[in-house]
Homo-oligomer: A and B are copies of this chain.
Amino acid sequence: MSKRIAGPEIEHLIQLLAKVPGLGPRSARRAALHLINKKEQLLAPLAAAMDEAVEKVRVCSTCGNVDTADPCTICTDPRRDGATIIVVEDVADLWALERAGAMNARYHVLGGTLSPLDGIGPEELNIKALIDRVAAGGVGELIIAVNATVEGQTTAHYITDQLDGLDVKVTRLAHGVPVGGELDYLDEGTLSAALRSRTAF
């Protein structure tokens, strides 16, 4: 805004809100006004929740998940099958798999994918800790659930190479037609993979 219409505190709040994914400069203003109008019901509790997150959230030293406990809730949950580890690129993927609710396994968060052009080598990722976890024993299966991108697949191959000689079954997610997906909109690679991996009716 060209002219000063409010104290710098409100402008500052709007500028920071505009950096939150999903909000832009216009929706940040709207969000700020809404928060200010609901000061007691929303702004104060949200500020307190953020303060608490700043203070308490940490990265799990076992798996790389974010949580307020270390080791994280998943790593310490006795009902989880510790013999199965799902390897994901980041915490968002872990949350997505948990929403699917298909497995009761533990996780390992890599923190990205190998990308030599961006200077991201194996040391920048949480790979050594994964190998150590497997080498320590007790892991029967490693499900590599990285994205089906070139970087993801390169990372999967690198991890598989590093696991050579260790007694662990390594699997990956199936390729195929998304549930609810229409063939007409799918790329040739996915259709070919779905045909190759066809199953009996």
Contact = CB atoms under 8 A, between A and B. Distances in A.
Interface of A: 1-10, 12-13, 16-17, 19-23, 27-31, 33-37, 39, 42-47, 49-54, 56-57, 65-69, 72-74, 77, 91-92, 94-95, 98-99, 101, 104
Contact of A10 (B20, B53, B74): B53
A57 B39 CA distance: 9
A19 B46 CA distance: 10
Q: Is the interface of A mostly helix, strand, loop or mixed?
A: helix
Given A42-B19, A101-B2, A35 B50 contact: yes
B30 A92 contact: yes
Given A29-B95, A35-B53, 19 more contacts: A1-B98, A1-B99, A3-B98, A3-B104, A5-B94, A5-B95, A6-B67, A7-B69, A8-B68, A9-B49, A10-B68, A13-B46, A13-B49, A16-B46, A17-B46, A21-B31, A30-B92, A36-B66, A39-B53
A50 B12 CA distance: 10
Contacts of A99: 1
Q: Which has the most chain B C-beta neighbours within 10 Å: A4, A28, A37, A47?
A: A47
Q: Which has the most chain B C-beta neighbours within 10 Å: A10, A36, A50?
A: A50
16 contacts: A3-B101, A4-B73, A5-B74, A6-B66, A7-B56, A7-B67, A9-B68, A13-B49, A13-B50, A20-B42, A22-B22, A35-B50, A39-B53, A44-B54, A47-B47, A47-B54
A73 B56 CA distance: 37
Contacts of A9: 49, 52-53, 56-57, 68
